[in-house]
Amino acid sequence: MKKTETAEVLSNNRLAEGIYDITLKCPGIAPMAKAGQFIEIYPDNGANLLSRPISICGAGEDTLRIVFQVVGKGTDLFSKLKQGDKVRILGTCGNGYTLESGSALLVGGGIGVPPLLETAKRLIASGCKVTAVLGFRSGSFLSDEFEKLGAEVHIATDDGSVGFKGNVVDLIKAKNLAADTVYSCGPKIMLKFLAMHCEGQNMPLQVSMEERMACGIGACVGCVVKIKDETAADGWTYKKVCKDGPVFDSREVCWE
């Protein structure tokens, strides 16, 4: 069930260049949050009417934490929010991860890392052994928080500034990392090659797709992805990332 709420900004911190960390007080929405879901935030500006989808990085009894990258006018407005400011949000949105028992491998790329932090917290709380593989272009953020939760953390960077020089899939192969279930969020090209690797290793993979979502409720049909469907004439159909996802079984996605 989705609902709108006027949330209060409790804090806003800059984690890295263009990356911001906001905690919102929203007692009506926070208790409904599941790992892998997102909220829609509405800019308080007449020139930017469309809401912006931002993944949930952390959830408390009456608070939600979001970590996002400034990519346009809307997210730039959010980056300037101050403690005590109010912002309208819609949530919780989408279908999150299905948390399974057994060992877990969490694979995040860039701004796909934040939603995996709440996922790790819940998996570890349930007794799962969690390994996190986090990929960045340069440097890193949030990696220390995965370690504090008790996860084994591996970092890959494109420029080699931190950890393994290369991408997350190459790191997974180099260290021969495996788990009963893999959970991932990041750029589509990363998810595609991770899906190929996991299929070859017979590891179930849940992917959180990153698509441009304007409405967040399935009305605008602007965030569709191709999903395999044997009953369809062409063998595939469209599904909406905001409503049917953002999390899908990687074996259902048409990657080509």
Within 10 Å of residue 228's Cβ, how many Cβ atoms? Answer: 13
Rounded Cα distance, 212 and 204, in Å: 26
Fold of 3-93: Elongation Factor Tu (Ef-tu); domain 3 (2.40.30)
Q: Which residues, including other chains, have CB under 8 Å from residue 31's CB and lie 6 or more apart?
A: 61, 62
Q: pLDDT digit string (tens) for 55-68?
A: 999 999 999 999 99
Per CATH, is 97-204 categorized as 3.30.1360.120? no
CA distance 55 to 221: 19
Q: Crossing angle for the helix pair 188-200 and 168-175, nearest 10 degrees?
A: 20
What residues does each domain of the chain span?
A: 3-93, 97-204, 211-247
Look up the pTM and report it. 0.94
C-alpha 93: how far from chain center: 12
Question: Looking at the predicted structure, is the pLDDT value of residue 80 above 70?
Answer: yes
Is the pLDDT assigned to residue 22 strictly greater than 70? yes
Computed on alpha carbons and rounded to an integer, the radius of gyration of the chain in Å comes to 18
Pick the CATH number of 211-247 from 1.10.645.10, 3.90.1300.10, 2.10.240.10, 3.50.50.60: 2.10.240.10
Strand partners for 5: 89
